[in-house]
């Protein structure tokens, strides 16, 4: 990824996070790398991580052919929804971190919705 693309992505993420901060709800944040996908649910003030899931975790890796495809993203979405609901979180704001709502990001969001989270 070129430096310019990353700067543009971070600029988009900054404006989204400012809007989410005004909403005052928990935030489901996603980080996408070439090899893995990470998801975290932050409290409404952003100070604590309530739940987290990634393709590095053994329970997520089980049965996956690859860590970097839509199937892996969907599994991360299901796990993060399960952990967030166990912590008492029903509704979140989806912070896609400036990534396009497409591919792995969309697969994660759809699986989290199916898991019971409301965006």
Domain CATH number, residue 70: 3.30.420.100
Q: What share of the chain is helix, strand, coil (3-state, %, to 5)?
A: 45, 20, 35
Could you count the other beta carbons within 10 Å of the beta carbon of residue 98? 20
Q: 83-117 pLDDT, tens per residue?
A: 999 999 999 999 999 999 999 999 999 999 999 99
Query: What pLDDT sits at residue 89?
Result: 95
What is the separation of C-alpha 95 from the centre of its chain, rounded to a whole number of angstroms? 7
CA atoms in the 13 A half-sphere facing the CB of 93: 20
Query: What pLDDT sits at residue 2?
Result: 83
Provide the domain count of the chain.
1
Contact status, residue 87 vs residue 53, Cβ threshold 8 Å: no
Tell me the mean pLDDT in the region 66-74: 95
Q: How far apart are CA 17 and CA 23, in angstroms?
A: 10
Q: What's the Cα-to-Cα distance from 95 to each of 5, 17, 28, rounded to whole Å? A: 18, 7, 6
Q: 23-56 pLDDT, tens per residue?
A: 999 999 999 999 999 999 999 999 999 999 999 9
Q: Residue 119: inside a domain, yes or no?
A: no
Q: Residue 64: inside a domain, yes or no?
A: yes
Q: Residue 63: inside a domain, yes or no?
A: yes
Q: Residue 34: inside a domain, yes or no?
A: yes
Q: Residue 110: inside a domain, yes or no?
A: yes
**Is residue 1's pLDDT more than 80?**
no
Domain around 97? 3-114
Q: Residue 54: inside a domain, yes or no?
A: yes
Q: Residue 85: inside a domain, yes or no?
A: yes
Global pTM reads 0.93
């Amino acid at each position: 990824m070129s430096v310019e693309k990353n700067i543009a992505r971070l600029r988009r993420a900054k404006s989204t996070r400012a809007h989410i901060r005004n909403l005052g709800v928990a935030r489901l944040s996603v980080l996408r790398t070439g090899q893995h996908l990470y998801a975290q649910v932050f409290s409404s003030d952003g100070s604590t991580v309530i739940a987290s899931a990634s393709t590095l975790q053994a329970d997520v890796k089980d049965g996956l052919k690859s860590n970097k495809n839509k199937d892996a993203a969907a599994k991360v979405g299901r796990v993060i929804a399960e952990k967030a609901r166990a912590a008492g979180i029903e509704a979140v704001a989806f912070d896609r971190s400036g990534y396009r709502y497409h591919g792995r990001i969309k697969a994660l969001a759809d699986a989290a919705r199916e898991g019971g989270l409301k965006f």
